[in-house]
Amino acid sequence: HRLFRSLQGVAFSDDGRTVFLADYSHGILALDLATRTVREVPAPVDVSTLGIDGLVFWRDALIGIQNGASPPRVVRLQLSPGGERVERLDVLDRHLPLADEPTTATRLGDRLYYIGNSQWPQYEDDGRLKPGARRSPTAILELPLTP
């Protein structure tokens, strides 16, 4: 599809009819599985949905790992009823010492688990380790989604 430029995260709606896709350079997209149509999910002008990597659906919202923001952060994109648009963005977590380059996420119950340090900055574009780069043990971080 013309909007599929850099797909990163995939999240199914609770009813299983819609697949939400995080496209790093286009933002949030929605794929209707019955009609196989793709649409952009618009957001308010002061909300950026670019640079999202991991994505999960939770309570009529999308939880995203937005490592394309500075500092990287975990965000909740509150969806309108029916998931037609993003109504607001809430920052759930950001700039943790262990989350310098967060990525991929999954949800178990009301808890989010994600890789805090993907180590991408340690590598060249061709996959070689950068000279002098230091890798650290993988950090799997846990974030409660309820207060």
Query: Which tens digit of pLDDT belongs to each residue from 43-73?
Result: 999 999 999 999 999 999 999 999 988 889 9
Average pLDDT, the chain: 93
- State the pTM of this model: 0.90
Say yes or no to pLDDT of 147 above 80. no
Provide the pairing of β-strand 61-66 with 111-115. Answer: unpaired
The whole-angstrom separation of Cα 115 and Cα 100 is 10
Both tokens of residue 124? 């060249």
In sequence order, which residues have a C-beta less than 8 Å from that of residue 127 and are 6 or more positions away?
A: none
